[in-house]
Amino acid sequence: MQIRRLLLLAVILLLACSTAIHADETTEQATPDATLTSEEESALAAKSESFEFQAEVHRLMDIIINSLYSKREIFLRELISNSADALDKIRYLALTNQTSLGEQEKLEVRISFDKDAKTLTVRDSGIGMTREDLKRNLGIVAKSGTSEFVDAATKGQDALALIGQFGVGFYSVYLVADKVTVVSKHPNDTQQVWESMADKTFTVGEDPRGDTLGRGTQVTLHLKEDAVSDFANEHELRKLVKRYSEFIDYPIYLLVTKSVEKEIPDEDAIREAEEAKTKKEEEKAKKEAEKAEKLAAGETVEEEEEEIEVQDDEDTKPKVKKVTEQVKEWERVNDVKAIWTRNARDITDEEYADFYKQLTKDEEGPLEKIHFQAEGEITFRSILYVPKKAPHGLYDRFYEKSTALKLYVRRVLISDEFEDFLPRYLNFIKGVVDSEDLPLNVSRETLAQSRVLKVMAKKITRKVLDMLKKMAEAAKSKDEEEDEGEEKKDEENEKKDTSGVKAEEKYGVFWKEFGKSIKLGVIDDRANRAKLAKLLRYQTSKSEGKVISLEEYVDRMNDKQKHIYYITGESLDAVKKSPFLERLASKGLEVVFMVDPLDEYLVQSLTEFDGTPLQSITKEGLKLGDEDRLEKWKEELKPLTDWLASVYGDKVEKVTVSNRIATSPCVLVSGQYGWSANMERIMKAQTFANADEATWLHSKKTMEINPRHPIIKELATKVSEVAEGEKPESLLDLANLLYDSALLSSGFMMKDTQEFSKRIQRLISTGLNIDPNAEVEPEPEDSSEPEQTEETKTEDSTNTNTESEATPSDAEHAHDEL
């Protein structure tokens, strides 16, 4: 019994000791030595020296605090960048001297905060700083040009010319802190403490606590009141580290608080168990006595020893209970690797896809990618992606700031709203650009508008266009093989990559989602217009529902064809039924269908493709090789064209014989440089369009008649029978109806619908042998109306007068409401 009791106590003590040891380890690891006790502060003050900031530095801090940085969260990025630089130095030093690392071999950054003390601490195991380093780096900006920069910044002038001459990122801490304490340990010096309150002085002294860091630097910010809630905040710090420093080479740990469920000794249960055991022992003793009495009396006694033993075994189990405790532990927050720094051959498609999803939060994955390193005047690495789907509202927000590319310098985010690397029409491209030597301004928030930047932008744009060109070529090769009826020899091309789309099908997916972007590029980017034009895709009158390139169109042209013929319209159905197609279809000529509103603007910029001019089949100047025969018809039908021109007056510029229609009697053609019918429709649909103010852009229309159509032949006969100058009403109606039908079939909008309706009614009357001027039969009087009495008449008169009097005030009220 005593042995069991001792075992139970031993287990409980062991469990309690284990919990205490774990708690001590957590506390030691989780609580950095960030503050000094009052005794240590007194000792430090006795050993410290006080210095004044260099005059330029004091002025510089004023500028930083008051106007330089647009976002005060930038301070954390600057501190982590400084830590990364210090870690780089010790790592490079260790390459030549293995003992440089000493006992502290881990290279890392740790961030912690204390909301009660209103402090935030960033600690690294980098090279550290000596006493002289602290004085020089944090108190004196010993670089040429500092005064010039300060003067320029003070006067509001452009200070970007001084970019790269010095780094003042550390001083951004005063955006959020009233006081800053820097503790640093360099291998060649004792541990030193630097302190300042952003005034004109700072102190440097030997740390009375001795060497607590081992090696490295610890920056403790004593936060301003309005910064505590923002930056003594686990969620906010994690978000900022992931935003700006996610791809730093070294691990960054954040001290977080987690709820942990633990088992601890249950004192109440132990006490109850002891009381129960004592009671059992008393009961057992009593039963033993009773048993002895029964045995002495010669009575039979049941054996209960085995049951008691089982109960004793239950009593030996430790009594514990589960509780939830708040435990602090270090959590790594930059777990995504900067894969662009690796060789492209060593990266799998799955890794590229995973990185894209991490970068863009787009679970669809990329359609295509390109990974390259540019060398020359400036070196940079980049990974660029084409998404599978166009973001919602991509073209509605076309002129807003682009967030396409994230710009990094040495894996530190500089901007995720940088739009100077790609033209706006390529704003759907996602990816990263990272440079080791990109020139930055003092706040790292704005890049120098230098020639180097333009060189980078040119290279990146060229790489994107090359990527799109390869996608288009893969689709073209597939089409050529299908046309020739060949089997695909390369089985690898049949396989789908991680995007889930075959290589030869990618450009079709791309064009469906981002075709408008290519058209916008043709309109805006004169330098790359020729390359972009080869990426255009359209249905044609011979493509059987497929989209083809202009290059394919030109390859299919016959030797006599000198133009790329196109037609613009509201929809595919509309252009396929257009009378303008009739003659070209009969001659076997292919016509490009342009039914996107952007196409109207595109053809104004793209007047030719690889030396072959584009020709609208709805405008003047169309030549189909039968001009000699056309001249003969013009002469024969001159009386009709002259008479029609006199009838139409200002509605048309002229009436002539057409070479573009086969079965329709007539069409209306726009001037060579005026708006097409489709363009007029688009402009009238604009929200703020004023058609009256833009009449100068409405080209004069030309009426073209079909000399072989029976209506035209018969009308010509009728006109020849009319005396010169006469315009019979019946012929006028026919001529105007001919114009109206041409107006509608050519895609123009009718203005005077009332007159058109009357002409149709007169035509119907004539067809029914009814006089068009016959009057409508009068409405019969209604005899079912009750006869009014004198009283009713009086009442009606009164009501009429009342309503008449109320009307003006009601009208005035409605006007006021309006």
Any idea where the domains of the chain sit in the sequence?
31-250, 347-407+419-535, 538-617, 627-767
Any idea which architecture 627-767 has in CATH?
Answer: Up-down Bundle (1.20)
Q: Which residue has the higher pLDDT, 627 or 313?
A: 627
- Residues whose CB is less than 8 angstroms from the CB of residue 38 and which lie 6 or more positions away in sequence, other chains included: none
Q: Which two tokens stand for residue 151?
A: 């003067």
Q: Which two tokens stand for residue 728?
A: 């019979």
Whether domain 538-617 has CATH 3.40.50.11260: the reply is: yes
For position 401, what pLDDT does the model report?
Answer: 63
Number of CB atoms found within 10 A of residue 325's CB = 13
> Alpha-carbon torsion 301, 305, 310, 313, what sign?
positive
Sheet with 652-657, side-by-side order of all strands: 652-657, 701-705, 666-669
Summarize pLDDT for 285-308 with one digit per residue, the tens. Answer: 787 777 777 777 767 666 654 444
Is residue 107 within 8 Å of residue 87, measured between CB atoms? Answer: yes
Confidence of residue 192 (pLDDT cuts 50, 70, 90): very high
Spatial separation of the C-alpha atoms in residues 763 and 741, rounded to whole Å:
14
Q: Could you write out the three-class secondary structure of 392-432?
A: CCCCCCCCCCCCCEEEEECCEEEEEEECCCCCHHHCCCEEE
Is residue 87 within 8 Å of residue 250, measured between CB atoms? Answer: yes
Spatial separation of the C-alpha atoms in residues 750 and 668, rounded to whole Å:
12
Spatial separation of the C-alpha atoms in residues 810 and 250, rounded to whole Å:
78
Q: Which two tokens stand for residue 619?
A: 């405008």
Nearest to 248 by CA among 475, 61, 408, 127: 408
- Residues whose CB is less than 8 angstroms from the CB of residue 185 and which lie 6 or more positions away in sequence, other chains included: 128, 191, 192, 211, 213, 214, 215, 216, 217
Q: How far is CA 469 from CA 383, 435, 464, 482, 534, in A?
A: 17, 26, 9, 20, 8
Phi, psi of 472, deg, nearest 5: -65, -40
First to last CA, the chain: 99
For position 516, what pLDDT does the model report?
Answer: 94
Q: Which residue has the tokens 């590319």?
A: 405
Summarize pLDDT for 679-690 with one digit per residue, the tens. Answer: 887 777 765 555
Question: What is the separation of C-alpha 682 from the centre of its chain, rounded to a whole number of angstroms?
Answer: 28
SS3 552: helix
Sheet with 608-609, side-by-side order of all strands: 591-594, 564-568, 612-616, 608-609
pLDDT greater than 90 at residue 442: no
CATH number of 347-407+419-535: 3.30.230.80
pLDDT greater than 90 at residue 632: no
Summarize pLDDT for 456-502 with one digit per residue, the tens. Answer: 889 999 999 999 999 999 887 666 555 544 444 443 334 456 667 88
For position 812, what pLDDT does the model report?
Answer: 41
Q: Which two tokens stand for residue 658?
A: 């057409």
Question: What is the separation of C-alpha 423 from the centre of its chain, rounded to a whole number of angstroms?
Answer: 15
State the Cα torsion 552-554-559-565 to the nearest 10°. Answer: 120
H or E segment to which residue 654 belongs? strand 652-657
**Angle 638-648/710-720 helices, nearest 10 degrees?**
80
Overall average pLDDT of the 325-332 stretch: 88
Q: Which CATH number fits domain 31-250: 2.40.110.10, 1.10.10.60, 3.40.50.970, 3.30.565.10?
A: 3.30.565.10
For position 33, what pLDDT does the model report?
Answer: 56
For position 351, what pLDDT does the model report?
Answer: 92
Indicate the length of the chain as a whole number: 818
The whole-model pTM stands at 0.71
Strands (E), 658-782: 666-669, 701-705
Phi, psi of 123, deg, nearest 5: -125, 135
Mean pLDDT, rounded, of the chain: 78
For position 14, what pLDDT does the model report?
Answer: 39
Q: Is 24 exposed, middle or buried (0-12, 13-18, 19+ CB in 10 A)?
A: exposed
Q: Which residue has the tokens 């700072």?
A: 202
Confidence of residue 55 (pLDDT cuts 50, 70, 90): low
For position 316, what pLDDT does the model report?
Answer: 58
Phi, psi of 226, deg, nearest 5: -80, 0
State the Cα torsion 706-707-711-716 to the nearest 10°. Answer: 130
For position 246, what pLDDT does the model report?
Answer: 86
